[in-house]
Amino acid sequence: MDNEQLSLPNYTIPEDMRDVVAVTTLDRLYNWGRRSSLWPLTFGLACCAIEMIAAQMARYDMARFGMEVMRPSPRQADMILISGTVTKKMLPAIIRLYNQMPEPKYVVSMGACASGGGPFKEGYNVVAGIDKFLPVDVYIPGCPPTPQALMAGLIKLQQKIDKDSLKKVRWYQKGKEDPNYVPMPILGPDLIDVRRNEEYKKAAAVKEGA
């Protein structure tokens, strides 16, 4: 450039972006630590659990992703894999385990039964999707999914964790109660989610008016 020195215009970081730019490196370090040491809960429901076990064996080796330490206690787990058919009798136990897990915690719905009821959706004793009660982070399709599909789903979970920011994650937000707490459903003619009481009342009022 004929010995001319390249000059760049002065750039000022916008006010609403300064916090994001300032914590980018910290976010990456924080997310790298969490994504590389996700400890699943030792919990299987049906045939999907066999594929989950296979994914831990030497042929697939989930240890490569830091997910080999399956914990028998929800107090030490980061992720719960709903691997199989969720019955109405089992659902309260699943919710109890989920509530005992410390934040941050994640839910992975593995297979057609966990995601939507599968071939048993019309059964009187089967929940048509765990997402009706728990916040699901990743869905893995299949009946049952292969170990490769499970690993692909867990990699998707890692990618989701990579996008977290310390400024926005829910477990660092101040509040009077845990916003992620899930109350136990009431087992009557069907499972009643107490969080939807107002919705039930409105539906009952409409039915009575008709």
Which H or E run contains 184? none
Residue 136 pLDDT greater than 80, yes or no: yes
Q: Which tens digit of pLDDT belongs to each residue from 63-102?
A: 888 887 888 889 999 999 999 999 988 999 999 999 999 8
Side chain identity at residue 137, one-letter code: D
Q: Which tens digit of pLDDT belongs to each residue from 108-124?
A: 999 999 999 888 888 88
Residue linked to tokens 């009431």: 186
Q: What's the rounded Cα separation, in Å, for the pair 193 and 129?
A: 14
Name the CA dihedral angle for 71, 73, 76, 78, rounded to a multiple of 10 degrees: 70
- Both tokens of 203, joined, read 């539906």
Whether the CB-CB separation of 83 and 46 falls below 8 Å is answered with yes
- Please state the pTM of the whole predicted model: 0.79
